[in-house]
Amino acid sequence: MKAVIFFGPKEIRLMDVPVPRPGPGEVLLKIGAALTCGTDFKAYRQGHKVLLGDPPSPFGHELAGTVVESGAGAEAFTAGMRAVAANSAPCDRCFFCRRAQTPLCDHLKLLNGAYAQYLLVPAHIVKHNLHPLDAGMDLRVAALAEPLACALHAVDAMSVERGERIAILGAGNMSLLLLSALKARGACVLVMGRGPRRLELARKAGADETASILETDPRKASRKWTEGVGPDCVFEAVGRADAWETALSMARKGGRVCLFGGCASGARVEVDAHRVHYEQLTLRGVFHHTPEYFRRAVELLSKSGVPADLLIEGQIALEEVPEYFRKMQDRSPLKTAVVPA
């Protein structure tokens, strides 16, 4: 089969590799659609130990497809069934899994290999995070389940309530998914980002207000939007130290800050300790998803609860993946569906 393999920063190649056979508990999927993701671009540019381990590594992690064959114990997944898989699952055994903090699982090994014709889904993912799909479900839309699950996790972790005024810093793909999750909870949302095109998309996707950080100071704009008070909760969806600092400066007294965008290893952020204490700020890091959020994401997508057509802007063949990453590496494209022949 054809598969895109990551060899190191800016080095991915289309290779011929054997089609894997499923062992006990495993399921072989024929990929129907894989989505490009900002994390894949980050990994492409600079490598990504957490995501990809030691190269050479299979590449791509947002996917949906059709079951080809299942191993002993996974017979519930029959050939021809359409399904979506998450890129990880808890081990059930470690300290963190036993305390229901599964994103912190000591054995969280991320599944990659979505940019390929076939993908072997390991037994622990089959057990927790492989879901059958309705026949009518578009596989490109279903493949949004993984990033959407991360967004649902974040919004839940911050206990967002109906009517709260929430600011999202950043207007990328994750920001639009956070926006969907926040609107589903009845929040009022301000999206702040750079490009006018992204902000327009955010408005189409339901943002109550948008502001360009190129034209206005994010703190001032978010204060103005809230009659001088400041947002109840701010979601940082950029993943840079300076954006974390901006997000911290935006929250109102007693407000919450969701530190959602992952910074590079070694990044340091200055925190106004006086303000955190006397203004009772809550700072919360949120990473990844859990089986419960993945299940909810699949459900929300099946009810068309996400404006997928705004997020997925195009489609390419598997053979085009290396060239696409080379060409788009310095831009921040929306999602593109990779559809293998």
Q: Which is nearer to Zn ion, 248 or 337 (CB)?
A: 337
Could you tell me which residues come within 8 angstroms of residue 209 by beta carbon, excluding any fewer than 6 positions away?
Answer: 188, 189, 190, 191, 225
Q: Minimum distance between the CB of residue 150 and Zn ion, rounded to whole angstroms?
A: 8
Q: Minimum distance between the CB of residue 35 and Zn ion, rounded to whole angstroms?
A: 7
Q: Which is nearer to Zn ion, 5 or 97 (CB)?
A: 97
Binding range to Zn ion, per CB under 5 A, among 29-37, 173-181, 228-236, 273-281: 29-37
Q: Minimum distance between the CB of residue 119 and Zn ion, rounded to whole angstroms?
A: 15
Q: Which is nearer to Zn ion, 61 or 252 (CB)?
A: 61
Q: Which is nearer to Zn ion, 106 or 161 (CB)?
A: 106
Helix or strand run (H / E) with residue 315: strand 312-316
Q: Which is nearer to Zn ion, 38 or 340 (CB)?
A: 38
39 binds Zn ion (CB under 5 A): yes
Q: Minimum distance between the CB of residue 166 and Zn ion, rounded to whole angstroms?
A: 22
Preceding amide of 147 cis, omega within 30: no
94 binds Zn ion (CB under 5 A): yes
Q: What is the dihedral of CA 57, 58, 62, 65, to 10 degrees?
A: -160
Q: Minimum distance between the CB of residue 101 and Zn ion, rounded to whole angstroms?
A: 9
Residue ranges in 242-261 that form contacts with Zn ion under rule CB under 5 A: none
Q: Minimum distance between the CB of residue 286 and Zn ion, rounded to whole angstroms?
A: 15
Q: Is the torsion defined by CA of 230, 269, 176, 200 positive or negative?
A: positive
Buried b (16+ CB within 10 A) or exposed e, 205-233: bbbbbbbbbeeeebbebbbebbeeebbbb
Q: Minimum distance between the CB of residue 249 and Zn ion, rounded to whole angstroms?
A: 28
91 binds Zn ion (CB under 5 A): yes
Query: Which tokens go with 192?
Result: 């702040």
Amino acid at 233: C
97 binds Zn ion (CB under 5 A): yes
Helix or strand run (H / E) with residue 300: helix 291-302
Could you tell me which residues come within 8 angstroms of residue 340 by beta carbon, excluding any fewer than 6 positions away?
Answer: 2, 31, 34, 116, 117, 317, 318
37 binds Zn ion (CB under 5 A): yes
Binding range to Zn ion, per CB under 5 A, among 70-78, 91-99, 280-288, 319-327: 91-99
Measured CA to CA, the distance from residue 26 to residue 20 in angstroms comes to 10
3-class secondary structure, 303:
coil
Q: Minimum distance between the CB of residue 280 and Zn ion, rounded to whole angstroms?
A: 33
Q: Minimum distance between the CB of residue 105 and Zn ion, rounded to whole angstroms?
A: 3
Q: Which is nearer to Zn ion, 249 or 332 (CB)?
A: 332
Measured CA to CA, the distance from residue 173 to residue 337 in angstroms comes to 13
Binding mask 121-160 for Zn ion (x = CB under 5 A): --------------------------x-------------
Binding range to Zn ion, per CB under 5 A, among 75-83, 90-98, 155-163, 260-268: 90-98
Q: What is the DSSP secondary structure assignment for residue 55, as one 8-state letter?
A: S
As a residue count, the chain comes to 341
Q: What does residue 285 show for φ and ψ, rounded to 5 degrees?
A: -85, 135
Count residues contacting Zn ion (CB under 5 A)? 8
**Binder among 34, 105, 238, 298 for Zn ion (CB under 5 A):** 105
Q: Footprint of Zn ion on this chain (CB under 5 A)?
A: 37, 39, 90-91, 94, 97, 105, 147
